Amino acid sequence: MTVPIHRRRRTTALLVAAGLSIGGALAVPATAANERPNPLNQHTAPEVKAALVAHPRDKIGEHDRQLLAEAVARGEKTVTAMLAVDQRQTRRVADQLRGIGARVDRVDERVGYVRAQVPPGKVEQAAAVGGVVALDLKEYFRPPEPAPEQRVADTARVPAPGPGTPDANPYLPTHETGAVRFRQQHPSWDGRGVTIGILDTGVDLDHPALQKTTTGQRKIVDSVTATDPIYDGDATWRAMITSVIGPVFVYRGQIWTAPAGEYKINVVTEKNTDFPGCAPTDDIVCGDLNRDGDSDDVFGILYRPGDHAVWVDTDGDRDFTDEQLMRPYGVSHQVGHLGQDKPGTEVRETLPFVVQYREDVELPQGGVADFVNLGVIAGAHGTHVAGITAAHRMFGGRMNGAAPGAQIVSVRGCLFGPGCSSVALVEGMIWLVADRHVDVVNLSIGGLPALNDANNARAELYNRLIRQYGVQLFISAGNSGAGLNTVGDPSVADDVVSVGAAISKATWKANYGAEVAYRMGVFNFSSRGPREDGGFKPDIVAPGSAISSIPVQTVGQPVPEAGYSLPVGYGMFNGTSMAAPQATGAAALLLSAARQTGAQATPAQLRQAVFSAAKPIAGIPVHVQGYGMFDVPGAWNLLKRDLTPDAFTVSAPVCTPLSDKLATPHQGAGVYNRCAAGGHEPGEAKDYLVTVTRASGDPRPKAYRLSLQGNDGTFRTYASTVTLPRGVPVKIRLTAAPTVGAHSAILRLDDPATPGLDLGVLNTVVAAPTLDEPRYTWQATGSVNRNEYRSYFVSVPADTRVLQVNLADVADGSQTRWIAYNPWGLPVESTSSLVCYTNLGGGNGCDPASRFYAHPIPGVWEFVVESRRTSPLLENPFRLTTQAQGITVTPDPVTFESLPKGQATGFEVTARNDFGPVTVTPQGGALGSLLATTRTITKGETHLYTVQVPEGATRFEVAIGNPGDPAADLDLTVRKDGVVVGRSADGDSDEVVTLDEPEPGTYEVEVYGYETKPGGTSYDYREVVFAPRYGTVTAPGDAISLANGQTVTVTGSVTIQQAPPGGHQLYGEVPLVSPAGAAVGTATVVIESVS
């Protein structure tokens, strides 16, 4: 019997072609009509991926396995691997990588880092090399787009910030961390003596507020580019290979002039810095380096290898004699400019740049070359971040960043289009900490993997940098909230300070013109904890909305509803990207104070002071705010006492759909229970044993007080104290009895004899209701305040075909929406503030009232209901309803041995409703040409299939599955003309790719054996091309209402017009479609031959 394709569990495919549709739990529709496509933006929903096969202690990890599968699908010959290795074995690991055919690009024994180009088929072998701790593959992260959407304003509500704005203000609310008061009380502790590293899109060297510190020193002391000259594709890096001799020479068919001497030459072509969707207000360059309105210019670069002198032909006249000799900014602080500034305009039409060189870079074709970089910024993001940390005299007045006395080192880790390279985010961080020796670092870029447990190479390397070099990293938590377990990587790294985004009533009014009910809260978008292993993230919050510096090449960017304009070079951005630099600047004040007073301030001491002194925000769960708001004076009161923090390890039970993939399966750094089966029932009292080991400090046993922070009554401890000998694990019993919803509390261990909190363990449990049978529905009725949210958890049963969600009873004009998060903590639709709201642009491509999620992952789903800042109502009523739907059809399929052409043949099936009551309508369609076969594939082997898609085809679907080895991992890729148009690759072998309205032509299907047992595995292969030329399958089209458990007979008929190609069968489907457009069940027909 032929197995029908629709029964295969549909998994995520790569959305690379128009008309590609996939299964999996995707909302329909969920496209932001006015938002730039941005798959790596933290605001955009990550792909929903089917569960991967567990790889406990996996050095690669499921996220990087997905990246590897994508590289294989693209046909890449090598992938860039970043390896954290045992530092004592760094050279040996590099040699062994060369031995398996890898090309080693970089070796850094100081931190145990190796970067190499590895053939995809050798990645597993590379990870297995002795001494390798973790292996990451290169990827790109789009910097967040923190500017709120622009709408027409009505009237002014508050005055604009300007020269008269005091330092303590709601526009850039550094006073909310206590930074302003701290500086007022201690004027010299303003960041002076501290250098802040900013790893981002680059910082505008021309901005007036980023020129000098409070003591008149240069503000930006260095500016470099960390992208790789070869493998990142950064068009501003040029290989200096061609030799020329001045004063006159011919290059590229044209005459050039230079000072007498011998040089190397190349050019930067400005159009190579453009990309689809580039926005000059955010991305700045967009293929126009000299800002003359076109992308036609080419700028020559002349390089003298002997002393690394550089000349740039800024005016494009092919004459270097009228250009300045330049050296790297960190050496000479020279800044060049491209373009001509126009008198009478506020916007600056010139673009600043610096130069940089790298010696003896190995070329892919062999040999080495020096590279020169034309260092320009890749966006506004980094300049805004820099202003928050350390700007001085914004608007030419009294308004400052958090640490105006501090200096800045800028590292650009981002490209023009693809985003920020993970290679640059690692190597740029190594350079900042180990080579440039900055004192503290801000990083406001990252992503959200499904398994956000910090078990990867980048997290390991960041932890090493912090511990070895004594430099604390502050990293934004991410903008994927308000869902649980959405905190992003790399802020999940153990020793990183992960920062969420808070906002006050005053800032809502000043920056947005919005009124809210609370005095202080946390942005809905701010990513929530815990980590997948229950780990404590985010650690703290800081203000996440700011008017700050942006490049002077752009007009002011206020929020229109605020009712005022901003001058050139200033913009209002929001996000955890803005919260992290608030915290970084606040930390710079503490380091400045410590340096001037002789107090110790190691990263461990700094973290202990900051965490202990943080001020909890009333009414906000601890998995949302961590310890609370950064408090500079409070932290200093602890830090000046020379804290002596001990080291601890924690092991606690974790139960989530992904907890079997943790480094130690089902164990992590804090209690986390989000299971459906085996989870925590509402009202149930359950004990959790938290094992704590004190790893350092006094060899004698130490007693600690136990308490719970942020507890809503769910948790309790059986003891008030615990004694911890050094090096001996001790179990602490914690009991939870939750009501419906998510509940969290910090288990605090405090030695009363020492200042500061010694240890905090985050504990989070979710008690989710099941759907009410027999209707399989769940409903919530309530009200949500403007700019606030309500979170609801629902347990979705296995085998649900469709999860239908509806929003109703919304008040006139109210702007309210829901966002769904799957059991892995991933949003399954865009979290952009542009989409899915009622009474806002019709939802902008997302139905605000009714959406369904096909083939939802079983487990605990979260639905976040929130009201927008522009809603006219302070209180916004709603009713949210979910229903599980699914119909089983038998027989499946209906099989005919042979049917004649041109004759309608009837059939009937029985449809049984397994879930909630539903009305469906049978729908017919075109027949398809079906090829079904079973083959055996081995690890590393590729099977190729060629498929002809005729003119007029309506759908092309290919599937693999039913492996003989249940643990096998097979990947499926579809190409047309060598270009990948569809891919499905998770951690198992059930994969489907569907192309709607495919272009006619020849397609190539590739099945790749990523992992199999020795000897290989069998698998089923199915391909179907639906086209009217083959005939039709029809159904009556009458609506059918089915209660739970009810059955009905569905009839249809098949009419064949044309036989399929040789070796193929005919195949048809009759989906049973709900009023929302969801296929709740499907009847299938197979005709084995045509008579």
Q: Give the whole-angstrom CA distance, residue 909 versus residue 932.
A: 23
200 is catalytic: yes
282 is catalytic: no
Q: Which residue has the tokens 């006050």?
A: 504
Q: Give the whole-angstrom CA distance, residue 429 versus residue 859.
A: 38
Q: Which of 723, 736, 741 is nearest to 763 (CA)?
A: 736
Residue 221 token pair: 């002391």
Q: Give the whole-angstrom CA distance, residue 325 versus residue 833.
A: 48
- From the list 43, 63, 175, 381, the catalytic residue is 381
- Which DSSP symbol is given to 483? S
- Inter-residue contact 891 to 801 (CB < 8 Å): no
Q: Give the whole-angstrom CA distance, residue 932 versus residue 1064.
A: 8
In sequence order, the β-bridge partners of residue 210 are none
The Cα-based distances of 547 to 172, 382, 539, 583 in angstroms read 6, 14, 24, 16
- Inter-residue contact 630 to 796 (CB < 8 Å): no
Phi, psi of 468 (to 5 degrees): -80, -40
Q: Which of 377, 426, 414, 410 is nearest to 105 (CA)?
A: 426
Q: What is the largest CA-CA distance in the chain?
A: 95
Q: Give the whole-angstrom CA distance, residue 566 versus residue 372.
A: 37
Other CB atoms within 10 A of residue 633 CB: 16
Collapse the DSSP code of 784 into the 3-class scheme (helix H, G, I; strand E, B; otherwise coil) and give the result: strand
Q: Name the helix (H) or strand (E) containing 979.
A: strand 979-984
Collapse the DSSP code of 1029 into the 3-class scheme (helix H, G, I; strand E, B; otherwise coil) and give the result: helix
Q: Which of 1087, 1056, 1091 is nearest to 2 (CA)?
A: 1087
- Which DSSP symbol is given to 617? P
- Inter-residue contact 526 to 662 (CB < 8 Å): no
Q: Give the whole-angstrom CA distance, residue 640 versus residue 643.
A: 8
Secondary structure (DSSP) of 412-443? E-B-SSS-EEHHHHHHHHHIIIIIS--SEEEE
Strand ranges for 444-519 from DSSP E: 472-476, 497-504
Other CB atoms within 10 A of residue 44 CB: 23
The alpha carbon dihedral of 583, 148, 806, 914 has a sign of: negative
- From the list 200, 204, 914, 990, the catalytic residue is 200
Q: Name the helix (H) or strand (E) containing 585.
A: helix 576-597
Q: Give the whole-angstrom CA distance, residue 539 versus residue 496.
A: 9
Q: Which of 457, 496, 492, 456 is nearest to 473 (CA)?
A: 496
- Inter-residue contact 538 to 498 (CB < 8 Å): yes
Q: Give the whole-angstrom CA distance, residue 442 versus residue 143.
A: 14
- Inter-residue contact 749 to 722 (CB < 8 Å): yes
- From the list 444, 549, 577, 791, the catalytic residue is 577
Strand ranges for 834-953 from DSSP E: 850-854, 859-867, 875-885, 887-890, 894-896, 904-913, 918-922, 925-926, 928-937, 942-949
- Inter-residue contact 615 to 709 (CB < 8 Å): no
577 is catalytic: yes
Strand ranges for 786-831 from DSSP E: 789-796, 802-808, 816-821
Q: Name the helix (H) or strand (E) containing 461.
A: helix 457-469
Residue 609 token pair: 């002071």
Question: 240: number of CA atoms within 13 Å, CB side?
Answer: 26
Q: Which of 128, 106, 104 is nearest to 118 (CA)?
A: 104
- What amino acid positions are annotated as catalytic residues? 200, 381, 577
